[in-house]
Structure 1
Amino acid sequence: MAQRSEMNVATGLRLLAVGGFAIALAGCSMGNMFAPAPSGGASLQNASPTKAELNTAATSALPAIATECPPIKVRAGGEALFYYGKGKVGNPRDLNYQAVIDKQSRNCVVSNGLITVKMGVVGRLLLGPSGNQTEITVPIRFAVERDNVAMFSEKYEIPVSVLPPAQSTEFVKVVENVAIPYTGGEQIVIWVGFDS
């Protein structure tokens, strides 16, 4: 009988310890819920910024990066450029050089109803069997269309140097600060390609 009452006391103490621990944890999670509010705390509940504070915040804020930057695509037929000497188009032995687009990229920033695009292309120029040029100009066109209407289109003549004994070289072109009006929902596509 004494053994049973000792077990009941031990079990009761364990339950009491667990209950006290649970109450202590609950008190910790409440923080200072019952403490008095700091001075002026009530006035913060209905506070709103002044116009001057809003203007200061707006001018110091960084522009938001567009969540959906328009895709950049290579225009069909503009992915490669072939130049043949003496007007012999299509004969591989008469190929002076060819240029190809390796990759294209873009990034965008949206601010004040405009989407500002920075776009670029990396390409490679390779001399052909009849090629001996060291200075070549490669024509690249960037265009931006919004709902199938051209908002920007510009052709760039990119000088490329091929220094012997090299038979190929890379070229890069980056176009910055192209601003397109954007209200949301428009279909915008960036195009790039050779413009022969």
Structure 2
Amino acid sequence: MIDRFAGRVGRFILPAGLALALAGCGSSGSSSTGEPSSAQKLGNILMFQSTTPPQPNQLPTDDEVNFACPSVIIADGGAAIRAQSGPDSGSLRSQVSITTTARECTQANKDGGFTLKVGVEGRILIGPAGGAGSYGATLVTQVMRNNQVIARRSARVGGAIPSGQTGADFSHVESNIVVPGGSGEIEIIVGLNTGGAEPARRRRR
């Protein structure tokens, strides 16, 4: 798991040997078939706008000073949203959950400001009381400094599950989040909810 990304004006800097490494809870390396994992694919979308990276000799070199890109935090209670018709497990209609997170920072100026992309990949599952249809939740992305919100985005995520299937994957990327320079710790917080409310207390992912 890599907790640092490097960046500079106009492009993303990462050593070729680390080009596929990403931060994210539950992320892993290549699968047993040699194919990139879901975390790697999400990271490639963030960095290269494609699920596959360029050839190693086309990657930029790590020839500038790195800076720390803040880790993604999942809000308490925001990792999954469940829809149930009753209290028992057999009443579960659907669950929308976050499975992987990633981020990319591009340094904008010397005062510490940067632009940010935040990627989330998730899974929709149908429960015993569910059926084919469209399912979703609201994904809230916040950037905070010293417990003050400096950027906030919300988007509807999810998808349709056709008849005969029990689940589907989804992904979402928030781009061009501007983080101004300043003192204090930066936190990137994501969470799912049924509306557009702010995420609850945070926990490290």
Shorter-chain TM-score above 0.5: yes
Partner residue of 1:160? Answer: 159
The Cα shift of 1:159 comes to 4.0
Larger radius of gyration: 1
Deviation readout 1:153-180 (Å, 9 max, x if unpaired): 2221124111221101101010000001
Counterpart of 2:119, as a letter, is: G
What is the count of residue pairs matched by the alignment?
Answer: 132
Partner residue of 2:78? Answer: 78
Deviation readout 1:52-103 (Å, 9 max, x if unpaired): xxxxxxxxx7467552001111111111111013xx2x32111100122111
| Compared CA separation, residues 63 and 159, structure 1 to 2 (3 A) | closer
Question: Does the alignment pair 1:144 with 2:139?
Answer: no
TM-score by length of 1: 0.62
SS of structure 2 residue aligned to 1:93: helix
Alignment partners' CA distance in 1, 2:12 and 2:137: 35
Partner residue of 2:179? Answer: 180
TM-score by length of 2: 0.60
Alignment partners' CA distance in 1, 2:104 and 2:98: 18
Matches within 5 A, 1:93-132: 93-112=90-109, 113=111, 114-132=113-131
Q: Which runs of 5+ in 1 are unaligned?
A: 1-60
Alignment partners' CA distance in 1, 2:118 and 2:152: 13
Runs of 4+ that moved beyond 4 A: 61-66
Partner residue of 2:67? Answer: 67
Counterpart of 1:69, as a letter, is: C
Q: Which runs of 5+ in 2 are unaligned?
A: 1-8, 14-65, 195-205
Confirm or deny: 8 A CA contact 1:101 1:123 kept in the other structure: yes
Identity %: 25
Alignment partners' CA distance in 1, 2:174 and 2:12: 20
